[in-house]
Amino acid sequence: MADSVADATAALTDDGCVPLAGGTWIMRASIRGEAQSRRYVGIGRIPELNTIDVKDGEIRLGACVTHARLVESFAGLAQWNGLAAAAGAAANPAVREMATVGGNLSTQDFFAADLPPALLSLDAAVELVRPGGTERLSVGRYLDVRRTLEPGALMTSIVLPRRPMRTGHARLPLRKAGDYPVAIVSMAAVLSSDGRVDVIRIAVGSVEPAAGRWTELEEKLLGRPLDPDTAHEMAEATADTFTGRDSVEAPGWYRVKVLPALVRRATQAVLSSR
């Protein structure tokens, strides 16, 4: 167990050593049929990784902040409705107490994660400590490079810009709760006084192997009044840009098919978040 970021990164430069945060992914390696032979450095106790720092223009979340703490800190605040919904609906209460934001963003082979689309819609960034120094990357960029980071790299925080946006997160699990979502739509929008879309960011999770923005839909909605029916219609017209992944839980076509309905729900969540 590392006591500081410096301790952790020193241990991590040893090839084959990886960070262990909440452990909820790593501890299931053998069940997935993966080897668990590598060395781990526990990062959950590092004070800097457990703080939530609220500044004027941004909020800095330590990478080891848990889903449960996100919900406690952000529930009831309109601007963070989407993030609180994402963290609060994932998994189950005990796992939410253990699983961390940094772990959720860093789990390469977990395609149904809730926080990547939520954080993409919020235009969040991550801070990494790398052997060459500290670096800030957009969440989208981090999702692209996380597989290829050199030994010694550690995500220390997630940075949320504070803007007057309204946000929502819609997910479709197959059961009512407790299992992985088949598809996820996260939305963040700034609306003008007459209800038109000034800024919008929409992200999709679980449909393809990595979460990503839905820019075609964003472009169609820009400048129009935001309402669930229009959003649904526009989503139907642009959903063919996705290639759903097949898995035992759901075929790829189904994941794409449910997207317009999730766009409708995310829009309703955005409109009701005040």
Partner 1 sequence: MPTSLMINGERRTSNRDPMTPLIDVLRDEFLLTGAKSVCREGVCGACTVHLDGRLAVSCLVPIGTVEGKDVRTVESLAMAGELSPLQQVMEQHDVVQCGMCFPGILMTLTSFFQAQPNAGRDEIKAALVGNICRCTGYERLVDAAVTLTKRS
Q: Which chain residues interact with ligand FAD by CB under 6 A?
A: 18-26, 43, 63, 90-92, 95, 98-100, 102-104, 106-107, 112-115, 154-155, 180-181
- Indicate which of ligand FAD, partner 1, none lies near residue 180 (CB less than 5 to 8 Å, by partner kind): ligand FAD
Residue 42 contacts partner 1 per CB under 8 A: yes
Question: Shortest distance, CB of residue 115 to ligand FAD, whole angstroms?
Answer: 6
- Which residue lies nearer to partner 1 by CB, 74 or 214? 74
Residue type, 222: L
Q: Is the dihedral of CA 169, 175, 177, 180 positive or negative?
A: negative
Of 97, 103, 67, which is closest to residue 85 (Cα–Cα)? 67
Of 16, 31, 133, 274, the one binding partner 1 (CB under 8 A) is 31
Q: Give the range of 19-27, 134-142, 143-151, 239-247 binding partner 1 by CB under 8 A.
A: 19-27
Q: Give the range of 38-46, 127-135, 240-248, 259-267 binding partner 1 by CB under 8 A.
A: 38-46
Residue 19 contacts partner 1 per CB under 8 A: no
- Which residue lies nearer to partner 1 by CB, 94 or 237? 94
- Which residue lies nearer to ligand FAD by CB, 10 or 98? 98
Question: Shortest distance, CB of residue 27 to partner 1, whole angstroms?
Answer: 4
Q: How does DSSP assign the chain, residue by residue?
A: --SSHHHHHHHHTSTTEEEESS-TTGGGTTTTT----SEEEE-TT-GGGG-EEE-SSEEEEETT-BHHHHHHHHTT-GGGHHHHHHHHHSS-HHHHHH-BHHHHHH-TT-TT-SHHHHHHHTT-EEEEEETTEEEEEEHHHHHHHGGGPPTT-EEEEEEEE--S-EEEEEEEESSSSSS-EEEEEEEEEEE-TTSBEEEEEEEEESSSSS-EE-HHHHHHHTTSBP-HHHHHHHHHHHGGG--PPP-SS--HHHHHHTHHHHHHHHHHHHHH--
Residue 68 contacts partner 1 per CB under 8 A: yes
Q: Give the range of 24-32, 188-196, 219-227, 243-251 binding partner 1 by CB under 8 A.
A: 24-32
Residue 261 contacts partner 1 per CB under 8 A: no
- Which residue lies nearer to ligand FAD by CB, 233 or 249? 249
- Indicate which of ligand FAD, partner 1, none lies near residue 63 (CB less than 5 to 8 Å, by partner kind): ligand FAD
Question: What's the token pair of residue 80?
Answer: 């963070």
What is the contact surface with partner 1 in residues (CB under 8 A)? 1, 20, 22-24, 27-28, 31, 36, 40, 42, 44-45, 68, 91-95, 97-98, 177-178
